[in-house]
Amino acid sequence: MSDSPTPPLTLRAWLLHAAHLLQEAGVPSPETDARVLVLHTLGLNASALLTQGGEVVPGAEAERLAEIIERRAARVPLQHLLGEVEWGGVRLRTDARALVPRPETEWLLHLALEALRSVPTPRVLDVGTGTGALALGVRAARPDATVTATDLSPGALTLARENAALNGVDLTFVEGSLLAGLPGPFDLIVSNPPYLPEGDRADADPEVRHDPELALYAGADGLAVARPLAAQAGATLPPGGVLLLELDPRNAPQFAAELRAEGWRAEVLPDLAGRERFVRARQSPPS
């Protein structure tokens, strides 16, 4: 670490030093990330900053701290450095095998559980499960649900299986593209598919480049995965079944309009910041 401190530093000084390095590296939330990494690396709780802030960090621990701060300054995602995160009521291991679960996707989980509220013993399919976040979140909240999780990536499915074991949750995992080989029926099909337009690649944040490209980009308008997913979902959803997708605010309204033109009852729902991010759709009953 080129500008790591040479004299021994106290815990409080390390916190300030780490925040400065992350700010210089352009990390969006340097103070928060510095605090999280310092506490995580040293195995401390938040109260230690008050009770032990003046104590010197020993050499071996200081070296580990310098290394992990350097990696964050290189824009390795915070979640990869922590190795495990709390998300949607479950614990998730996170690494380069799958997309880092985003906070906004926790609202997709909320919408999924809302859709299942009056459905006894629901059958749920999570398409493109990645870390397994949505599938695990649904199963943890609804132990009566039968949940199937699919992904095209063998690595992502392995990670999702590890997360299922970590949480003691029983899921069915299927490797394959979208709904291939899954006749259903399902009461809910939920997905956080790739939805970024290809043009976003050039300006992607450094952290995003640590996510699998397979999980990020979906054609010129970001809907190259959502369209065939909806087409296949239409054959497996019973009357009243729900298709629930997270998309980009730039293309969610367009996709909802396309679904309505094809006979779906589709609506766009906002995330907690008011952005039009989620599409909820049901097929219209036969006339």
Q: Tell me, yes or no, whether 57 lies in a domain.
A: yes
Average pLDDT over residues 47-55: 83
- One domain for residues 242 and 128: yes
Confidence grade of residue 134 (pLDDT, cut at 50, 70, 90)? very high
144-153 mean pLDDT: 96
As a three-state string, the secondary structure of the chain is CCCCCCCCCEHHHHHHHHHHHHHHCCCCCHHHHHHHHHHHHHCCCCCHHHHCCCCECCHHHHHHHHHHHHHHHCCCCHHHHHCEEEECCEEEECCCCCCCCCCCHHHHHHHHHHHCCCCCCCEEEEECCCCCHHHHHHHHHCCCCEEEEEECCHHHHHHHHHHHHHHCCCCEEEECCCCCCCCCCCCEEEECCCCECHHHHHHCCHHHHHCCHHHCECCCCCCCCHHHHHHHHCCCCCCCCEEEEECCCCCHHHHHHHHHHCCEEEEEEECCCCCEEEEEEEECCCC
pLDDT value at position 2? Answer: 47
Checking if the pLDDT of 273 tops 50, the result is yes
In a domain, 79, yes or no: no
Residues 104, 58, single domain; the answer is: no
Asked if residue 56 is part of any domain, the answer here is yes
**Can you give the pTM of this predicted structure?**
0.87
Indicate if 208 and 274 belong to the same structural domain.
Answer: yes
Residues 92 and 140 in one domain: yes
Q: Is 61 found in the same domain as 101?
A: no
